[in-house]
Amino acid sequence: MEYTEKMADKNLTIMEEFILLGFSEIPNFQGFLFVMFLVIYINILLWNGLIILITNVEQALQTPMYYFLGNFSFVEICYTSVTLPRMLINLWSQKRNISLLSCATQLCFFLVLGVTESFLLAVMAYDRYMAICKPLYYHIIMNHKICVQMVIGSWVTGIPLLIGQTYQVFSMSFCGSNKLNHVFCDMPPLMKLACGDTSGIEFFIYIDCFLFGLIPFLLILLSYTRILRTVLKLPSNTGRSKAFSTCSSHLIVVSLFYGSGVIAYLQCKSSYSGRTDKIFSLFYTILTPMVNPMIYSLRNKDFIEAMRKLFSKCVR
């Protein structure tokens, strides 16, 4: 009896690789999905790359708002590149296995970049608050040094805790099947395969969600609450419409990112649904990076004008 228990415990910890099931439940659509995700990935790279290029070369866009937007687009490229290339390889080769180390690396980069994006969205909201509510102090407070420090802070704030969280997750014992019902290595499907009592790790996951998700979101809400009060006091309808136009683009991206992320992460292990989680994970890993450049460029006259100038220079 004692020997059997020891062997059972040993088998719980032996897990050299996972199998990402992805969209294996629809085998006839693998080719279509590969082409669709490839087109989406190319669009994400091109459009976000275009934003980075224009915000760096066009003098009219050398402002804090576009500096943050350029950095946000760079994060979007990195964020998508953590998951989409692997998805494309799996769809093309039909080999869905991923080693434990590769899975841990993917999860760690995914979490770090997700937190960076969350803080950058909060920084962009604060920038809009300063521009609309404190216009006289805007260029004094939001100088280049402060903007650089905000971007660096967004990148490095969550790294130590998230590396520790990743180590904590992969220190667990995984039992039964090694099949992850997901398109990449993410926290909810990994927790689903974990054995024993995972309440302690789930508690720390909720703490991280609070620190790196809820707090930035509350800061965004606070910024836009004050922006709304200020805008409603403006005497000119033109000023109101311009302010709402500038802020609405950011709010759409915030809604897509946080809405899908909350549904995916703030659910317990027992209520996890692979199919639902896969759908919502595509929202915050693919849809947001894809629509972000279109939302900001198509709704921004300055950006459209800068794009025209750049294309005319290329043509000449």
Q: Average pLDDT in the 104-112 region?
A: 92
| Cβ–Cβ < 8 Å for 88, 20 | no
pLDDT band per the 50, 70, 90 thresholds, residue 12: very low
C-alpha distances out from residue 52 to 48, 61, 68, 142, 314, Å: 6, 11, 10, 20, 16
C-alpha distances out from residue 212 to 8, 60, 191, Å: 37, 33, 19
pLDDT top residue among 303 and 272: 303
pLDDT band per the 50, 70, 90 thresholds, residue 9: very low
Residue 97, pLDDT score: 87
Q: Average pLDDT in the 118-124 region?
A: 92
Q: Tell me the domain boundaries of the chain.
A: 2-315
Express each pLDDT in 221-241 by its tens digit.
999 888 888 888 777 666 666
Q: Is the pLDDT of residue 13 over 50?
A: no
pLDDT top residue among 313 and 223: 223
pLDDT band per the 50, 70, 90 thresholds, residue 304: confident
Residue 126, pLDDT score: 93
Q: Is the pLDDT of residue 220 over 80?
A: yes
Bridge partners of residue 179, in order along the sequence: 19
Q: Is the pLDDT of residue 88 over 50?
A: yes
pLDDT top residue among 108 and 209: 108
Express each pLDDT in 133-190 by its tens digit.
888 889 888 999 999 999 999 999 888 888 988 888 888 888 777 888 888 888 888 8
Residue 116, pLDDT score: 93
The share of the chain scoring above pLDDT 70, in percent, equals 86
pLDDT band per the 50, 70, 90 thresholds, residue 84: very high
Query: Which residues have C-beta within 8 Å of that of residue 263, sequence separation ≥ 6?
Result: 276, 280
Q: Average pLDDT in the 111-132 region?
A: 91
Quote the pTM value.
0.86
Question: What is the distance between the alpha carbons of residues 20 and 28, in angstroms, rounded to a whole number?
Answer: 17
Q: Average pLDDT in the 103-112 region?
A: 92
Question: What is the distance between the alpha carbons of residues 243 and 247, in angstroms, rounded to a whole number?
Answer: 6
Q: Average pLDDT in the 45-59 region?
A: 89
Bridge partners of residue 99, in order along the sequence: 17
Least reliable range by pLDDT among 89-103, 182-196, 275-289? 275-289
Question: What is the distance between the alpha carbons of residues 25 and 204, in angstroms, rounded to a whole number?
Answer: 33
Query: Which residues have C-beta within 8 Å of that of residue 40, sequence separation ≥ 6?
Result: 84, 286, 290
Residue 39, pLDDT score: 94
Express each pLDDT in 134-148 by its tens digit.
888 898 889 999 999
Q: Is the pLDDT of residue 4 over 60?
A: no
Cα-to-chain-centroid distance, residue 258: 9
pLDDT top residue among 144 and 10: 144
Question: What is the distance between the alpha carbons of residues 295 and 288, in angstroms, rounded to a whole number?
Answer: 10
Express each pLDDT in 58-72 by its tens digit.
887 888 988 998 999
Span between the terminal Cα atoms of the chain, in Å: 82
Token pair in block for residue 240: 């109101």
Residue 7, pLDDT score: 39
Neighbours of 174 (CB within 10 A): 19
Residue 264, pLDDT score: 65
Average pLDDT of the chain, as a whole number: 82
Query: Which residues have C-beta within 8 Å of that of residue 298, sequence separation ≥ 6?
Result: 304
Residue 60, pLDDT score: 79
Fold of 2-315: Rhopdopsin 7-helix transmembrane proteins (1.20.1070)
